[in-house]
Structure formats: structure tokens, C-alpha cells
Amino acid sequence: MDTIKAHIESHEYAALVNFCEDLELQLALTPNTNITPEDFYGPFLLGYLLEQDLPSARFLWKRLPDSIKSSSKELRAIWDVGAALWQREYENVYELIGSKTWSPIIAPLMEQLADNLRERMLNLLSEAYSSIVIDDVVKYLGLPREKVLTIVEERGWEIDLSSNTLQPKKTVQEIQQSTSLANFSQLTDLVIHLEKS
């Protein structure tokens, strides 16, 4: 369980998922009574949600034994969040996350999930809309109106309170290109090939 906690603390969610997938296979071969389903399946399921891998999260939920699903209210609540994400009921996602007191291992994952979803929604809204009603943005972000206005103002969005709309500022995403020896080697090979032709 220390490895799971370490991945959570370092925000390495892909590594968390990989570790949990391997551990699930090990537990299938040799059951371990020291590992409780809540300590393992909760972070595992949330790892998939944080990695935006909803199909894998859904398949994990489906393959869980009914005894585990019914015995853990927290695990059920985690899946309720996943199901709301699956249905794109974003307002409900925030409500479900905020309405429960999560265990210490799950709470930071839920907080990160809400933050990631808000960031993703802001990026999507800025790409998809030239103008959007403030109340719609409030629903997509699951935050009070005043907080939403503060966030969008910091991002350079134009606020028109007379028409109750926002004009999102397009986000510019830098494309990072790596220049390594392998790239130069490939380029050299290509030039040599072209000169031979």
C-alpha cells in the first residue's frame, strides 16, 4: 500500500494504474488478506478516472465481485462519480465529489479529479465557444458564479454582465519538439538515402 500512497502523493497516476493492474493480477493468483478492497480498488478506479480512461474504469467496475461492490459504500460512491463522468453529467460529478467525506487515501484523488475536470472544461469551452452564458460555465465548472468570474478574468476572458455572457480567450498550446541525437540520426539517414536515389 506504500507504493499506492507514493504514486498518489507524487501525482503519478499512470504509474498508479500500472501498479494496480499488476497487483490485481498478483491478487488473482495469490489472494492477500492484508489488502482491503477499499485500499486497493478505490485508488485503482480513481487512477483510471484521473487518466481519463473511462472504458477501463467501467470494465474494472464490471469485473469487481458483487460482494466487494455491496460491502464498500465509498467504492460505490467512487463509481457513481465515474458513471456521472461517463454520462457527461459534469454538474453532478462536482456535487457527488463535494457531498461526501472521503477517506484520507481517496480525498486527494477526488480533489485532483475535480481540479483536472475544471481545467479540461475551461480548455474545451475556450476552444468550442466564442460566447457562452455565464450560468452554463458555472454548471461546467461546479463553482459559485463569483469564483467562476474570478477564474475566467484571470485567464483573459471578456466578461459582459449586461448580456450575462463570457467571451473565452483561445488557449495557445505550445507544441514541444524534442531535438535529440536520434532525431539528427534519422535526419542524416534520410538525407543519405535521398542523395543515393
DSSP state of 99: T
**Domain assignment present for 70:** yes
**Domain assignment present for 94:** yes
**Domain assignment present for 136:** no
Q: Between 81 and 65, whose confidence is greater?
A: 81
**Domain assignment present for 121:** no
pLDDT band at 81 (very low <50, low <70, confident <90, very high): very high
DSSP state of 100: S
Average pLDDT over the chain reads 89
All cell numbers assigned to 140: 461546467
With a cut of 60, say whether residue 175 has pLDDT above it.
no
User: Which range among 25-29, 45-49, 163-167 shows the weakest confidence by mean pLDDT?
Assistant: 25-29
**Domain assignment present for 58:** yes
Listed in sequence order, the residues at least 6 apart from 19 whose beta carbon sits closer than 8 Å to its beta carbon are 3, 4, 7
Q: What pLDDT is stored for residue 29 in this prediction?
A: 87
Average of per-residue pLDDT across 74-100: 95
Listed in sequence order, the residues at least 6 apart from 109 whose beta carbon sits closer than 8 Å to its beta carbon are 8, 42, 43, 46, 47, 50
How many Cβ atoms from other residues are within 10 Å of residue 37's Cβ? 18
Q: What pLDDT is stored for residue 195 in this prediction?
A: 74
For the chain, the domain total comes to: 1
Q: Where are the alpha helices (DSSP H) in the chain?
A: 2-9, 13-29, 37-50, 54-63, 66-71, 73-86, 90-98, 107-128, 134-141, 145-154, 181-196
Q: What pLDDT is stored for residue 177 in this prediction?
A: 60
Average of per-residue pLDDT across 147-170: 93
**Domain assignment present for 77:** yes
**Domain assignment present for 124:** no
* Neighbour order of strands in the sheet with 158-160: 132-133, 165-167, 158-160
DSSP state of 30: S
The predicted model scores a pTM of: 0.81
| Contact assessment for residue 94 and residue 142, using Cβ atoms and an 8 Å cutoff | yes
The domain of 78 spans 1-101
Q: What pLDDT is stored for residue 134 in this prediction?
A: 95
**Domain assignment present for 29:** yes
Average of per-residue pLDDT across 146-154: 95
Beta bridge partners of 132: 166
